[in-house]
């Protein structure tokens, strides 16, 4: 899952990036609303953690713009403002949740998990392809209900493929889903991860097909092509 933190307090932002990265999210950080808008237009995020008091474009204006554009991205407001009027305004404009500073990291991480679960898996059912299932919330892959041992990046890769099952995903999109802005992965690294994951899920009836020149596609084995 890919998160965007929009926070101009670098102490808070760095702490959030560190904690959420350790929780195995891909995390990007910007310090003002206009940077955030460019980032959201350029990349695909599962959740935005948004401060309200920002330079150039404040958080409420950014949120309003996103909702006016019918952007459904989940937004968690994180602010020092404690008044009820601000909370009501943020929720009315389109925020999905609201947390005031100071806060406990454990509560913020729980709210992040809940918002992602709500936005991606409204019915809380696992993703499934053949006998392969992925419980995104609990980061657990199973084949015939038996756990499959996957690394953090392999889990992210599997989630990316299963979220777009039956559709071709470009190698560049996979790179973006596995990396933060300050990280890079080459073509060879992606191919290695694909190869490892393909071998691990082979008994499930799910197949990662290479579509030459375009990318990769996850599909049930009966529909796979050699």
- Rounded Cα–Cα distance for residues 207 and 226 (Å): 10
pLDDT at position 123: 45
pLDDT at position 51: 95
Q: Does the structure show a pLDDT above 90 at 143?
A: yes
pLDDT at position 81: 86
Q: Which residue has the higher pLDDT, 123 or 20?
A: 20
pLDDT at position 8: 94
pLDDT at position 201: 95
Confidence of residue 184 (pLDDT cuts 50, 70, 90): low
Percent of the chain residues past pLDDT 90, beyond the cut: 50
Average pLDDT over residues 28-44: 89
pLDDT at position 25: 87
pLDDT digits (tens, 9 = 90+) for 97-138: 999 998 999 999 999 988 887 776 554 567 889 899 998 767
Average pLDDT over residues 27-41: 92
pTM above 0.85, yes or no: no
Distance of CA 16 to the CA centre of its chain: 15
Greatest mean pLDDT among 69-73, 102-106, 122-126, 184-188 lies in 102-106
Q: What angle do CA 65, 71, 76 make, to 5 degrees?
A: 80
């Amino acid at each position: 899952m890919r998160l965007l933190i929009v926070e101009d307090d670098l102490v808070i932002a760095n702490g959030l990036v560190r904690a959420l990265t350790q929780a195995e999210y891909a995390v990007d950080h910007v310090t003002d609303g206009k940077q955030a808008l460019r980032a959201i237009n350029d990349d695909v995020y599962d959740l935005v953690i948004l401060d309200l008091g920002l330079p150039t474009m404040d958080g409420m204006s950014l949120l309003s713009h996103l909702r006016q554009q019918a952007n459904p991205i989940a937004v968690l407001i994180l602010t020092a403002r404690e008044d009820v009027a601000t909370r009501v305004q943020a929720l009315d404009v389109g925020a999905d949740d609201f947390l005031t500073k100071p806060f406990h990291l454990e509560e913020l991480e729980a709210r992040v998990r809940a918002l992602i679960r709500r936005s991606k898996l409204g019915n809380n059912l696992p993703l499934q392809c053949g006998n392969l299932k992925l419980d995104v919330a609990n980061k657990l892959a199973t084949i015939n209900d038996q756990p499959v041992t996957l690394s953090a990046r392999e889990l992210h890769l599997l989630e990316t493929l299963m979220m777009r099952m039956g559709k071709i995903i470009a190698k560049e999109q996979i790179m973006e889903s596995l990396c933060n802005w300050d990280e890079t992965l080459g073509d060879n690294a992606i191919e290695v991860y694909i190869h490892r994951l393909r071998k691990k899920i082979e008994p499930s009836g799910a197949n990662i097909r290479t579509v030459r020149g375009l990318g990769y596609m996850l599909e049930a084995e009966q529909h796979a092509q050699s």
